Amino acid sequence: MEQVMKKRSIYSVIAALLVVGVTTLSCLLYIDRMQFGNRLQGKYQKELYDLIGNIQNLETDLSKIGVSASNEQCALLFGDIWRQAGSAADRVNSLPITHAAISQTSKFLNQVSDFSYTLVKNIGNGNTLTAGEWDNIKSLRNNAAYLRNELSLLQTQMEDGGFKWSEIRYEGGRLLGRAQANVTDERFASIDKEMEKRPTLIYDGPFSENVLNITPKVSSEPQIGLNDAKEKVMDIIGRSRISEIGSYSSKGEGRIAVYPFYVVLKGSDKSDAISIDISKNGGHMVYMINPRAVGNASIDNKKAIDIGLKFLADNGFKNMIPTFSQGTDNTLVINYVYVDDSSGSNVVIYPDQIKVKVALDNGEVIGVEAEKYLMAHHERALHKAKLSASEARAKASKNIKITNTRLAVIPMLSQREVFCYEFVGTYDGTTYIVYINAEDGNEENILQIIDTPGGQLAV
């Protein structure tokens, strides 16, 4: 009897410890989730606040241009508009809102940035603003004022209503269907619908309406069905890693028609679901993002670049080489471009570009942007350059000390492609890339290479 009582006592103690342990774990998980939610809330509140600030600044600059009589002052203002609009575009795309709800807003901000950059270059070449450009400036100012006012109103409504950004992300982010997600999507979609009614913007730049309406090269490939696209996703992610996979019920079409999917990995929460888009034509990966937290770096940049290269080759993107890379928050974003060897020479095709993001904690590929590649990639009828490398070199400045030469195809602002010699060299301690037309010797472009803590940038 005494032994029975002892056993019961032991079982009671064990049961009590289990209850305490489970309760403690539940409390810790709850606290961790609350802290995570608070961090996300603060992050997205700041993004929206800074977004409104960017738009207000570019609206002010656009107004100032209307009363400026100096080309120099206009150039400074357009330079600031370019930066403000670029930052605003990045911020609006960072919010947990579906692409369909922000596509026109994003396009508008990209157009403002691109148009301003074009005018900075025109003014630098001694040109004055045309009547059509003045009309565009007035239209952009009115659009910016509308957008700033609507976003400010949205911000106030969110604050007054106790809106929680964190609930969107925790409940599936782009999976949608939840009340908070619907509220933001509907509000942004309303703004987006109004932006779509605004006058179109025609100019010589990559976000001009005439350029945006270019048919993607991938559209000529045969269409695949939803099930085939799902198989592609499983091949890319790895079948053994997947806990759940599904497709979104609806998504606004971008320039490339896609099947959008979400993937939940084994051992992961839906808040960390991977988003991946597969093109309806050809079944190519267009976009992929894995929002997981990244730990401390354990691999170097060279290893990450090799991982990205192999990932592309394994998923149908052959003959790619790395160009530039940028590191931040224990990740590395690498630009890869296609190399065409059909003419007997290796020609770097810059329009066919893919960005890959690699986590430096374990080398996992956590991001891919292949839209540019799929927009531009096709078999080109490349031929032998009319000018020799030495003849083209003679067209470049004598001040630059050339360290590397190769053939390349580069995109111009209007998306026209130019066959060039690419000369990399140094002048006064700074690295430059000079592009000389391989047909007529014209100097097509000059890029300056800037070293940053995260890597090199070409500007």
d(CA 455, CA 303): 15
State pLDDT tens for residues 91-129: 887 777 665 666 778 888 888 888 888 888 788 778 888
pLDDT digits (tens, 9 = 90+) for 396-405: 999 999 999 9
Predicted local distance difference test score (pLDDT) of residue 298: 96
Segment among 31-35, 153-157, 396-400, 414-418 with least mean pLDDT = 31-35
End-to-end CA distance of the chain: 86
Tens-digit pLDDT profile for residues 275-286: 899 999 999 999
Of 38-47, 56-65, 161-170, which one has max mean pLDDT?
56-65
Mean pLDDT of the chain: 81
- Tokens coding 254: 């971008």
What is the reported pLDDT for 386?
95
Within a 10 A sphere around the Cβ of 434, how many other Cβ atoms?
23
Q: What confidence tier does 150 reach under pLDDT thresholds 50, 70, 90? A: confident
> Can you tell me the distance from the alpha carbon of 399 to that of 50, in angstroms, rounded to the nearest whole number?
42
User: What does residue 454 show for φ and ψ, rounded to 5 degrees?
Assistant: -90, -10
In this predicted model, what pLDDT tens digit does every residue of 194-251 receive, in sequence order? 766 655 555 555 444 544 557 899 999 999 999 999 999 999 999 999 999 988 764 4
- Asked if 447 contacts 410 with a C-beta cutoff of 8 angstroms, the reply is no
- What are the residue ranges spanned by the domains of the chain? 30-212, 214-283, 293-378, 389-458
Q: Which is it for strands 430-437 and 274-279: parallel, antiparallel or unpaired? A: unpaired
Q: In whole angstroms, how far apart are CA 359 and each of 3, 292, 303, 304, 334?
A: 57, 10, 11, 8, 11
**Structure pTM?**
0.64
CA distances from residue 54 to 23, 42, 57, 82, 333 in whole angstroms, order as listed: 46, 18, 5, 11, 25
**CATH code for the structural domain at 293-378:** 3.10.450
